[in-house]
Amino acid sequence: MSQIDLQPGFDFQQAGKEVLEIEREGLAELDQYINEDFAQACEKMFYCAGKVVVMGMGKSGHIGRKMAATFASTGTSSFFVHPGEAAHGDLGMVSPQDIVIALSNSGESNEILALIPVLKRLKVSLICMTSRPESSMARAADIHLCVKVPKEACPLGLAPTSSTTAALVMGDALAVALLKARGFTAEDFALSHPGGALGRKLLLRVNDIMHTGDEIPHVSKKASLRDALLEITRKNLGMTVICDDLMKIEGIFTDGDLRRVFDMGSDVRNMGIAEVMTPGGIRVRPNTLAVDALNLMQSRHITSVMVADGDQLLGVLHMHDLLRAGVV
């Protein structure tokens, strides 16, 4: 295409708003196709003993990849197979226990039509999503999901726009309906997203990141304040736990407590830690979610917390540990 000059006064905003209006109209039409066929497709996918295999060519393929990814992350085992590659060996990835969802706006995709006889021979359930109930794919399907829209947002009526949006939304409707039917939870979602922020917040527990063993700053109740300060400096967590030889918690002393001691004007050189420690102290259990420990620390305006089983000291958690773990 040759370079042309921009039309004087051309309104990009208006052009964009026209696209949104056309696609909104298309989605409004989609409501009528959430019908008995939709319910049957959901039920078949719910009871599927294998996987949901999604196929599509061109733009339908791009929508199909996203659809499969959404299914997989919301509790429906799914993957995408390119129809062209399927005809050259990848169809071996499909088993009789699977369900195939095939996308094509026209319903006449040659690459998919070539696969249908083999899928029928394998007795694989076939759900086709097209805009034409009379199309070859629709007639061959066990269940047909119509995604017809009045027109494309493309003024030429050629570039898939409204039609791909409708297919994408229909795929989301299937995924979310199945998610609700399964009672899929945020914790379930996190299990398939362990590397994401949600996964870290819903899966990471205090015992995954707490300091244990020799890393725990602790002194006995008989220690001097000077000994406690040396322990705080060595372990670099801004606090020390006061405990007995069996690691039973008796109190805690933090750098904030030290500032208060100085404000009192006491003779810190001859002071014992028992005189200035805070008895007891705030603690969490080791199986506490890291995000819950974070919320506790923020609400109490503290930077570290003891990890314990009752009075038995097991570890120490610092705000920096939560930062490094990506919880904050």
Looking at residues 194-216, what average pLDDT do you find? 81
Residue 200 lies in a domain: no
Asked whether residue 219 is assigned to any structural domain, the reply reads yes
Q: What is the mean pLDDT of the chain?
A: 91
Q: b or e along 111-140 (b: 16 or more beta carbons within 10 Å of the residue's beta carbon)?
A: bbbebbeebeeeebbbbbbbbbbebbbbeb
103 domain-assigned:
yes
Does residue 162 sit in the same domain as residue 279? Answer: no
pTM: 0.68
Integer Cα distance of 44 and 35 in angstroms:
14
Number of C-beta neighbours around residue 156 at 10 A: 6
Share above pLDDT 70 across residues of the chain, in percent, rounded to a whole number: 94
Q: What is the dihedral of CA 314, 319, 325, 328, to 10 degrees?
A: 140
How many angstroms separate the CA atoms of 254 and 135, rounded?
74
Is pLDDT above 70 for 194?
no
Lowest mean pLDDT among 25-39, 159-173, 253-267, 285-299: 253-267
- Identify the helix (H) or strand (E) that includes residue 130: strand 125-130
Asked if residue 196 belongs to a domain, the reply is: no
Query: Residue 133 pLDDT more than 80?
Result: yes
Spatial distance between the Cα atoms of 12 and 3, rounded to a whole number of angstroms = 18
Asked if pLDDT for residue 1 goes beyond 60, the answer is: no
Q: What is the mean pLDDT of residues 246-269?
A: 85
Asked if residue 86 and residue 221 are part of one domain, the reply reads no
Pairing of strands 278-279, 249-254: antiparallel
Q: Residue 166 sits in a domain of what CATH number? A: 3.40.50.10490
pLDDT tens, residue by residue, 139-182: 999 999 999 999 999 988 889 999 999 999 999 999 999 999 99
Same domain, 223 and 275: yes
**Is residue 20 located within the same domain as residue 147?**
yes
The answer to whether 211 is annotated as binding is: no
* Average pLDDT score over residue span 193-205: 68
* 249 plus 284 within the same structural domain: yes
| Same domain (yes/no): 180, 211 | no
> What is the domain extent for residue 279?
206-324
pLDDT of residue 258: 86
Residue 6 lies in a domain: no
Confidence of residue 327 (pLDDT cuts 50, 70, 90): confident
Helix and strand element counts for the chain (H, E): 16, 12
Q: Is residue 93 part of a domain?
A: yes
Same domain, 93 and 141: yes
Please give the share of the chain, as a percent, with pLDDT higher than 90.
79
Are 179 and 255 found together in one domain? no
| DSSP-assigned beta bridge partners for residue 316 | 211, 306
Nearest Cα to Cα of residue 203 among 284, 74, 291: 291
Condensed to tens digits (0 to 9), the pLDDT of residues 32-78 reads 999 999 999 999 999 999 999 999 999 999 999 999 999 998 889 99
Residue 90: inside a domain: yes
Q: Work out how many domains the chain is built from and give that number.
A: 2
Task: Kindly tell me if the per-residue pLDDT of 200 is higher than 70.
Answer: no
Q: Looking at the chain, how many residues does it have?
A: 328
- Domain identity same for 250 and 311: yes
The three-class DSSP label of residue 282 is coil
Q: In this model, does residue 2 exceed pLDDT 60? A: no
Band of the pLDDT at 260, cuts 50, 70, 90? Answer: confident
The tens digit of pLDDT for each residue in 94-124 reads: 999 999 999 999 999 999 999 999 999 999 9
**What Rg, from alpha-carbon coordinates, does the chain have?**
31
Q: Which band of pLDDT confidence, cut at 50, 70 and 90, is reported for residue 239?
A: very high
> 175 and 216: one domain?
no
State whether 122 and 254 are in the same domain.
no
Query: Does 192 map to a domain?
Result: no
Q: In the structure, what pLDDT confidence band is assigned to residue 284 with cuts at 50, 70 and 90?
A: very high
Give the C-alpha separation, 98 to 108, whole Å. Answer: 23
Rounded CA-CA distance 167/33 in Å is 11
210 with 179, same domain? no
CATH code of residue 216: 3.10.580.10
